[in-house]
Each structure stands twice: as C-alpha cells, then as structure tokens.
Amino acid sequence: MCHEVVRDTRCSSFFSNLLLYREHSMRKQERLFAIKEIISSRSISSQGDLRRELRRKGVAVTQATLSRDMKELGVSWTAGGGTPRYILEPMSEVQILRPLVGAEVLSIDTNESMIVIHTLPACASTVGEFLDMQKNPEIIGTVAGDNTLLVIPRSQRRTADVLKFLKHKLIEGS
C-alpha cells in the first residue's frame, strides 16, 4: 500500500511538472506571438518601446528575455524608409518550427540500429515532420505514435551519426 502511494506521488509530481512545463511553453509562445504582432503592426524603435507595448498586452518580460526572444524570431534593426525600427526577417518553416519542436522532446534513446525519441503527449508527429523536412540522407524515415517517434537510420553503421544529428537539431537547436 505504501509503495502505491509513493508511485502515485511520483506520477502526480511528473504530471505536475509536465503541466508546468507546458504552461511555460505556452506563455513563451504567446509572448513570441505578441512580439511578432506588435513589430508587424507598428513602428517600434527600441526594446523599451517594445516592452511597454508588451506590458499593455499583459505580457511582462525582462530585457534579457526580450533580447533572446527577438534573436529567436529573427528580429533585425533597419533605418530604411527614414524611420529606424525593428522588423521581422522572413523565416523558413524549419526555422519557425525548431524552437517549438525542441521543447517537445523529452529524451532520445538508441540501440545499434534504431533511435527512439520520447516527446510530450501528442507531439511525436510534429517532431517527425520536422525531421522529415530536414531531408537527411542518412535517415530512411520516421514513424510517429502519440508520444514516441521511431527514427530509422539508413544503415546500422550510421546510427551514431544520425543520433548526433538529432541531438544537434532537437536539443542544441541549430
């Protein structure tokens, strides 16, 4: 009976952490969306102006976090058109998905010939689609379930290289 209580507590703790993680991810995505919306809709000439506009939308952010978010979104400074302001650089679909997909990956396991990626619930297909878009010739394909993704390397000899590629794309984010 005591063992069951411990298991329930661990399970409860896991799901509490999972919910907090998802909540944090959602807040970040909402913040990123707000930044894009503000920069796209009006002339913003400083990070201070952008922080004020975000506060009006109910989004509190530090200057350091705002700088990281702007870098992640590809925001750049331009003086074109006579008014210095921030603009959003066009991003490829892969660049847009990279930060989202990385946040969905929980772990990567491998044996001699296959690689399994564990994701948040209902996220394996998104991670699989992202990897398929990379068109890595060393990956034959991916098979996604709900929270588990099977990555099949072209050959057993290349499994370590594919694992390195996956960690680089999904965890390191570049």
Domains in the chain, number: 2
63-66: long-range contacts (C-beta < 8 A, 24 or more apart)? 66/35
- 54-82 pLDDT per residue, tens: 999 988 889 999 999 988 888 888 887 77
Is 83 found in the same domain as 107? no
Q: What is the pLDDT of residue 93?
A: 63
Is 15 found in the same domain as 72? yes
Q: What is the pLDDT of residue 7?
A: 43
Pick the last residue of a domain from 40, 64, 88. 88
Is 45 found in the same domain as 112? no
pLDDT at 49 over 90: yes
Is 55 found in the same domain as 30? yes
CB 122, CB 146: distance < 8 Å: yes
Q: What is the pLDDT of residue 82?
A: 76
- 3-42 pLDDT per residue, tens: 444 444 445 565 555 554 554 555 888 888 899 999 988 9
Rounded to the nearest 10 degrees, the angle between the axes of helix 63-73 and helix 47-56 is: 100
CATH code (residue 47): 1.10.10.10
Burial class (CB in 10 A: 0-12, 13-18, 19+), 4: exposed
- Give me the domain span that covers residue 122: 93-172
Is 113 found in the same domain as 59? no
